[in-house]
Amino acid sequence: MTDPRLAVIVLAAGEGTRMRSSRAKVLHPLAGVPLIGHVLATARELSAAQVIAVVRHERDAVSAAILELMPEAVVVDQDQVPGTGRAVELGLSALPDDFDGDVLVLSGDVPLLDAGTLSGLIEAHRRTGAAATVLSAMVDDARGYGRIVRDPGGAVLRIVEDKDAGPDELAILEINSGGYVFAAPALRSELPRVGTGNAQGEKYLTDVIGLLHAAGQLIEAVPAPEPWMVEGVNDRVQLAVAAARLNAMIVRGWQLAGVTVQDPATTWIDLRSSLAEDVELLPGTHIAGATSVARGARIGPQTTLLDCEVGENATISRSDATLAVIGAGASVGPFAYLRPGTELSDGGKIGTFVETKNAKIGAGSKVPHLSYLGDVTIGEGTNIGAGGITANYDDIAKHATTIGSHVHSGVHNVFVAPVTIGDGAKVGAGAVIRKDVPPGALAISVAPQRNVEGWTEKNRAGTAAADAASRAATEATD
């Protein structure tokens, strides 16, 4: 049920200079979801009446991502006045003028803060009747963060930014997480009074805390249960730290749900992937995007699956697959490359050094070795010999190859598309198939073999090959 007294403002307008990236910071992925997506998911869990996101830097890309992840969100543009205070001021203007509930402010770059911790914060805020409740954290290294300044009695006085702090303030180890709950009227009255006279020339949201205290309002700061929950992502070192932390939690969750993970340190599972009981993941495996793996499948080592569907008891070893469907009991690899549109049916095989693209391979059909199959449909129970290649591209367009059921292709066949091989047909070794093969036919395209007797002894006299040939000839006549 939605909470009509709660609005969320997500800040995502900052430039993110410390990332040194052409991509907006909040669009960098963590477990396969952009940073901002984690924050929006948390906002959704809190069932706020309204979610507002403030954008500016890379605004088109950022707002498109926000609206894709959360179509009901309202996107507001920040103007040229910089700072988190200005961002919230503009976000607030998207709320009805008479909204007098609570405004939860979240940073788009703090991805691991969970809804449980935040509902605790909102509860505390409502219990104490404070004008503002800050989510703080006790840390060992406060560098870069705003510090919570309390009086000797413990009352919160203000927040001082790292760049504006004096030596005493720098020693404070209670930091501002960037998550707060404000009474909407308190924000409305104080934000217009915040200036930009500070080290960064920005309109700081954090200045509202000092102003509210000066106005005699109650401010609370509640430390998060664990400091890592509120760690911001400002550079790529922090991005990797957050990614490892989140991955460890995801891996643990799947282990408790019945998945064997041999080496959690080298196994990466994206947030949107799902795994059934008795799935086994070997070292170096990345289950990415919206991949689903059914019961009993064994994946890895050294395998990446992006947006794939894997059936029960399938095995995939040392391979890379994107947008592929792998049937129950099928086997892939080692060293296979499955590109989008690959559909391997139940019990099928895509073996060693095989690349497939837009390839529908029927039940029990096998492509065991050294092949490229693109734009192909193969029936059931067919075997493609080693080195089978579809020549699907004539440098103008792609063409399709259709291979029936129970076909037996020889080694090193080339299928020059468009071409069709009928059910039960057989193709000789080395054949280049340019014409359709009717069902049940044997297709042979290589010229008959001719042996020139004694060629080596005559043309390569004195070589090891000629000696070997002459010895063999003597032995044969003995």
Per-residue contact flags (x/-) with ligand UD1 for residues 113 to 152, judged by CB under 6 A: --------------------------------xx------
Give the one entry of Ca ion, ligand UD1, none that residue 84 binds, where binding means its C-beta sits below a cut-off of 5 to 8 angstroms depending on kind: ligand UD1
- Contacts with Ca ion in 262-291 (CB under 5 A)? none
Q: Which is nearer to Ca ion, 232 or 374 (CB)?
A: 232
Asked if 43 touches ligand UD1 (CB under 6 A), the answer is no
From Ca ion, ligand UD1, none, interface partner of 12 (C-beta below 5 to 8 A by class): ligand UD1
When the beta carbons of 203 and 360 are compared against Ca ion, the nearer one is: 203
Q: By CB under 6 A, what part of segment 430-449 binds ligand UD1?
A: none
Q: Which residue, 54 or 443, has its beta carbon nearer to ligand UD1?
A: 54
Shortest Å distance, C-beta 24 to ligand UD1: 9
Q: Among the candidate windows 192-200, 232-240, 266-274, 286-294, which touches Ca ion by CB under 5 A?
A: 232-240
The binding track of 71-100 with respect to ligand UD1, each residue x by CB under 6 A or -, is: -------x---xxx-xx-------------
Among 8, 11, 251, 359, binds ligand UD1 (CB under 6 A): 11
Q: Active site residue: 57, 369, 399, 412, which one?
A: 369
Active-site residue 369, yes or no? yes
Mask 98-117, x = binds Ca ion (CB under 5 A)?
-----------x--------
Residue 159 contacts ligand UD1 per CB under 6 A = yes
Instruction: Looking at residues 12 to 31 of the shown chain, list those that interact with ligand UD1 (rule: CB under 6 A).
Output: 12-14
Interaction of residue 232 with Ca ion, rule CB under 5 A:
yes
Judged by beta carbon distances under 5 to 8 A according to partner kind, the member of Ca ion, ligand UD1, none in contact with residue 78 is ligand UD1
What phi and psi, each to the nearest 5 degrees, are found at residue 58? 50, 45
Q: What HEC string does the chain produce?
A: CCEEEEEEEEEECCCCHHHCCCCCHHHCEECCEEHHHHHHHHHHHCCEEEEEEEEECEHHHHHHHHHHHCCCCEEEECCCCCCHHHHHHHHHCCCCCCCCCEEEEEECCCCCCCHHHHHHHHHHHHHHCCCEEEEEEECCCCCCCCEEEECCCCCEEEEECHHHCCHHHHCCCEEEEEEEEEEHHHHHHHHHHCCCCCCCCCCCCCHHHHHHHHCCCCEEEEECCCHHHHCCCCCHHHHHHHHHHHHHHHHHHHHHCCCEECCHHHCEECCCCEECCCCEECCCCEEECCCEECCCCEECCCCEEECCEECCCCEECCCEEECCEECCCCEECCCEEECCCCEECCCCEEEEEEEEEEEEECCCCEEEEEEEEEEEEECCCCECCCCCEEECECCCCECCEEECCCCECCCCCEEECCEEECCCCEECCCCEECCCECCCCEECCCCCCCCCCCHHHHHCCCCHHHHHHHHHHHHHHC
Residues within window 205-244 making contact with ligand UD1, judged by CB under 6 A: 205-206, 232, 234
Q: Which of 42, 63, 107, 401 binds ligand UD1 (CB under 6 A)?
A: 107
Q: Applying CB under 6 A, which part among 199-207, 339-347, 389-397, 411-419 lies near ligand UD1? A: 199-207
Binding site for ligand UD1 (CB under 6 A): 11-14, 54, 78, 82-84, 86-87, 107-110, 145-146, 159, 161, 175-178, 204-206, 232, 234
The residues that are catalytic are 369
